[in-house]
Amino acid sequence: MADSGFLSKLAMRAVSRHAVALICFAALALFAAKTIRIESDFTAFLPPSSTPEERLLIAQLRDGLVSRLMLVALQGADEKTLARTSRKLAERLGRAPEFEYAANGSLDQFVAQGEVLMSHRYALSPAMHAEKFAVPGLRAALEEQLTQLASPFGALSRSIMVRDPTGEFLAIVRQFDSGAMPALRQGVWFSADGKRAFLIAQTRAPGFDSERQEQAMIAVRQALADENPQVVAILTGPGVFAAESRLLIRRDAERLSMLSALVILAMLVFVYRSALVVAMVIIPVAFGLLIGVLVVNATFGSVHAITLGFAATLIGEAVDYPSYLLLNSASGEAARDSARRLRVTLALAVLSTVVSALALTLSSFKGLAQLGVLTMVGVLVAGLATQYLIPWLLGERALAFPRLSVPSTNFLGQSRWPRVVAVLAVVGAAAWLADQHPAWWQRDLAGISPVPPKMRILDAQLRREMGAPEVSVFVASRGSSQEAALKAAEGVLPVLHRWKQKKWIRSFDSPAWYLPTPDRQRARLSLLPDSVVLERNLAHALKGLAFRPDAFAPFVQDVGAALGAAPVTLASYAGTPLGARLNALVVELDGQWLALTPLGGVVDPGKLAQDLAAKTPGSSQVVDLKQVSADMVDGFRREALAQAAWGAALILLLLLAGLRSAKRALHVALPAAAALVLTVAVLVAGGERLSVFHLVALLLVLGIGLNYALFFERVAADADERSRTRLALAVCSTSTIITFAFLALSSTPVLHAIGITVALGAVLALAMSALWARRNDITPAGSAR
């Protein structure tokens, strides 16, 4: 009677403890659901910027002109239909709130845009001369216009010639000939083979704003469906990348977390065959994840979607601790006793992972810092929960579950050869890597951007077809005011003209063309005669020509208006595509003004930089975004290497302190180090280029490798305990390898890099630890059960 009363009281207490844990968890989960903000600005996973060039690069990538341009390719119908659809679509998108404009190369669009240029032509034309408005100049111009009018295409030039017989508008437009325009068919941009029609639309939303970019994409698809559902649109560009990678990352995060959770659960059920035990294993992970995400949110103000994707891997790591505890307890042993017995090993395992993640939290890469905090907090909480919460929950109860038998690895220790082979492999790998260095570092920013390679390849292909390669070289002209910056940009023009003549650059697009300094504008306008003189000259020039005397009245009127007009400013272009473009080319950054002149097809950016330095006062410089980004990637890699080194040193100190023996610490550290070398070699041999993400993942490999080595290194009391250790290790490593292998499937480069590195590293670390397992583990052959 008393016995059953004790038991029922025990059961009651266990149930109430479970209830307390459950209520705590539910409260936390509710709190998380209410407070956590998920963001997906992909630049969080771009390196931090420190130099002005780098800030310019990041600003351009985030919300510069380049980031706002969406490329729309229409296909799936005949040329005529595509051309018609292109016109309709351009018109609709031009009016849509999501877009500033949509260009398709058509003449009417050009004319509509050209009105600002037309009305300010005398202030903007580079071909202004006083002689053009004297009698002989006018006479020559009028004769030319007469032939033009009588030509088969007179209808085209008719309306412009009466306003602009001297051809100033044409002189302005000629400057813009970028040398690389898409082919025209049916009056709109087409691929050379006529299979795709192209439009370029500038979004109002900056490129990094993935949600509004997605709305813009939906607007394009909607407009197309209304216009002609048969036509298929391919959308690409930085904004599209942002929107699509957001979707991909979210899908990856959800699917991968789900899959690895399910597989781990299945594995746990297979190993333990008891709902209670599985629940005990899951509790620390669940608390760790939840609190980790909450801390990230509290620290950073939001949680990045990629960080959530990474959470999946945390499941694989954190599930190890309770497994290790439970599998190591002897049958009939209460969890609190085994927890006390395994305290040091468990603490070292948790702390080495925490330290390896610490290096991440110090990263100036916001995204990586988030991953670091999540790992650190998650693992720490899971460790604490394993050490204290589980024994508290279970109380006096000893868990019963069938213990699977895992074959011993003793055969590896019996012969020297496997170790010799391993040592040779490690030494060979290290030598090979040293020889290949530094070819295996990732130097391309695109390679570490979260944009999947497939999207980048499609984008590059469309741009090639369009003959509109991505602009990556600019001249950046600085000034204390907008005007000063534009003046500096104007000063660069003579050098650029010479370079273009020599065909050292293919094209350039200067904001100074559209916004000459007020002085220059005044100088040009001062070349115009007043109305009385102009009318007299015109009358003289018209004598004997077939034109009616009043045919050029609009010309006289326009010149009169130009003389009284205010100078052209950025505001003059408001509401036009040109205005949208100029807003992106004349920007304020760090309290200074910048006028950007994009260059196309620069043969030698370094030489251009020298030339500019020699011939301009130094307020302009060449910025090669590719070079800047490569430098940034290099710089960040150095930072990551330093952090990783610090992390490794800390881990070693931790081992020394925890094991209290240099020999034992070395015994634990060496297999892990060997695993690192082999992992890098296999990755590089497999064609991966190491980025900062791989480096960070290697740190995780080090943490995991040390865990295994620690477990193998523990002095086991008897064969039974050794057998338990083997089972614990098998379960732990399987869960780690599974979750990171799933991560390797991700199409997001960050997650893929971390996944493949850690999965591979875990396998190799396990093998190395087993090879160098403690001598006393070697028992006479046949001891394995």
Partner 1 sequence: MINTRRVRIALPFMAALLSLAAANVARADGFDIARLMQLLAATPAMEASFIEKKYSALLSEPVVSSGKLLYRRPDVVEKNIESPRKESYRFAGDQLLLVRNGAEKRIPLSSQPLLSAFAASLRGVIGGDLALLRNYYQLSLLGDLPSWRLEMTPIDEDTGRYVQLIVVSGRAGRIEQIEVHETSGDHSVLQVR
Nearer to partner 1, 508 or 555 (CB): 555
Residue 96 CB, shortest distance to partner 1, in Å, is 22
Nearer to partner 1, 152 or 402 (CB): 152
C-alpha distances in angstroms, 16 versus 11, 19, 276, 391?
9, 5, 15, 14
Selected range binding partner 1 among 96-104, 149-157, 413-421, 595-603, rule: CB under 8 A: 149-157
Nearer to partner 1, 401 or 547 (CB): 547
User: 3-state class of 477 per DSSP?
Assistant: strand
Nearer to partner 1, 195 or 255 (CB): 195
Q: Does 635 bind partner 1 (CB under 8 A)?
A: no
Nearer to partner 1, 31 or 110 (CB): 110
Q: Does 150 bind partner 1 (CB under 8 A)?
A: yes
Site string for partner 1, 493-532 (x = CB under 8 A): ----------------------------------------
8 Å CB contact between 288 and 378: yes
Residue 551 CB, shortest distance to partner 1, in Å, is 4
Q: Give the span between the Cα atoms of 17 and 392, in whole angstroms.
A: 8
8 Å CB contact between 732 and 673: no
Residue 103 CB, shortest distance to partner 1, in Å, is 16
Nearer to partner 1, 120 or 185 (CB): 185
Interactions with partner 1, residue window 565-624 (CB under 8 A): none
Q: Give the span between the Cα atoms of 104 and 205, in whole angstroms.
A: 20
Residue 147 CB, shortest distance to partner 1, in Å, is 5
Residue 186 CB, shortest distance to partner 1, in Å, is 6
Q: How far is CA 444 from the centre of its chain?
A: 12
Q: Does 170 bind partner 1 (CB under 8 A)?
A: no
Size of the site for partner 1 (CB under 8 A): 27
Nearer to partner 1, 109 or 619 (CB): 109
401 burial class (0-12, 13-18, 19+ CB within 10 angstroms)? middle
Q: Does 299 bind partner 1 (CB under 8 A)?
A: no
Q: Does 551 bind partner 1 (CB under 8 A)?
A: yes
**Cβ-proximal residues to 433 (8 Å cutoff; 6+ apart), any chain:** 440, 677, 680, 681, 684
Residue of the chain from 406, 547, 716, 744 that contacts partner 1 (CB under 8 A): 547
Q: Does 185 bind partner 1 (CB under 8 A)?
A: yes
Question: Left if phi > 0, otherwise alpha if psi is -120 to 50, otherwise beta: which for 601?
Answer: left
Q: Give the span between the Cα atoms of 367 and 374, in whole angstroms.
A: 11
Q: How far is CA 48 from the centre of its chain?
A: 12
Buried-exposed string 93-125: b where 16+ CB fall within 10 A, e elsewhere: bbebebbbbbbbbbeebeeebbebbbbbbbbbb
Nearer to partner 1, 184 or 570 (CB): 184
Q: Give the span between the Cα atoms of 328 and 635, in whole angstroms.
A: 45
Segment 280-283 long-range contacts (CB within 8 Å, at least 24 positions apart): 280/322, 280/326, 280/335, 280/390, 280/393, 280/394, 280/399, 281/319, 281/322, 281/323, 281/326, 282/319, 283/21, 283/25, 283/322, 283/385, 283/389, 283/390, 283/393
Residue 138 CB, shortest distance to partner 1, in Å, is 16
Nearer to partner 1, 428 or 549 (CB): 549
Selected range binding partner 1 among 183-191, 263-271, 473-481, 495-503, rule: CB under 8 A: 183-191
Selected range binding partner 1 among 156-164, 444-452, 503-511, 589-597, rule: CB under 8 A: 156-164
Please give the DSSP secondary-structure letter assigned to residue 441.
B
Q: Looking up tokens 């391309």, which residue turns up?
A: 444
Q: Does 312 bind partner 1 (CB under 8 A)?
A: no
Q: Does 162 bind partner 1 (CB under 8 A)?
A: yes
Q: Give the span between the Cα atoms of 421 and 427, in whole angstroms.
A: 10
Q: Looking up tokens 């509401």, which residue turns up?
A: 575
Interactions with partner 1, residue window 62-91 (CB under 8 A): 79
Residue of the chain from 13, 95, 129, 158 that contacts partner 1 (CB under 8 A): 158
Q: Does 184 bind partner 1 (CB under 8 A)?
A: yes
- For residue 675, give both structure tokens: 């695993």
Residue of the chain from 8, 50, 151, 779 that contacts partner 1 (CB under 8 A): 151
Site string for partner 1, 332-351 (x = CB under 8 A): --------------------
Nearer to partner 1, 540 or 615 (CB): 540
Phi/psi at 100 (5° precision): -75, -45
Q: Give the span between the Cα atoms of 450 and 366, in whole angstroms.
A: 14
Q: Does 546 bind partner 1 (CB under 8 A)?
A: yes
Q: Does 107 bind partner 1 (CB under 8 A)?
A: yes
Residue 642 CB, shortest distance to partner 1, in Å, is 57
Q: Does 156 bind partner 1 (CB under 8 A)?
A: yes
C-alpha distances in angstroms, 443 versus 125, 135, 660?
43, 62, 42
Residue 106 CB, shortest distance to partner 1, in Å, is 8
Asked if the bond preceding 438 is cis, omega within 30° of 0, the reply is yes
Buried-exposed string 298-317: b where 16+ CB fall within 10 A, e elsewhere: eebebbbbbbbbbbbbbbbb
Selected range binding partner 1 among 177-185, 405-413, 613-621, 707-715, rule: CB under 8 A: 177-185
Residue of the chain from 149, 527, 778, 784 that contacts partner 1 (CB under 8 A): 149
Q: Does 154 bind partner 1 (CB under 8 A)?
A: yes
Q: Write the DSSP assignment of 306-346 as a string of letters.
A: HHHHHHHHHHHHHTHHHHHHHHHSPTT--HHHHHHHTHHHH
Residue 548 CB, shortest distance to partner 1, in Å, is 5
Residue 109 CB, shortest distance to partner 1, in Å, is 12
Q: Give the span between the Cα atoms of 398 and 391, in whole angstroms.
A: 10
Selected range binding partner 1 among 19-27, 315-323, 482-490, 544-552, rule: CB under 8 A: 544-552
- For residue 319, give both structure tokens: 């599930």
Q: Does 194 bind partner 1 (CB under 8 A)?
A: yes
Q: Does 543 bind partner 1 (CB under 8 A)?
A: no
Please give the DSSP secondary-structure letter assigned to residue 396.
T
Residue of the chain from 453, 469, 494, 549 that contacts partner 1 (CB under 8 A): 549
8 Å CB contact between 293 and 32: yes
Residue 137 CB, shortest distance to partner 1, in Å, is 17
Residues near partner 1 (CB under 8 A) are: 79, 107-108, 146-147, 149-156, 158-159, 162, 183-187, 194, 546-549, 551
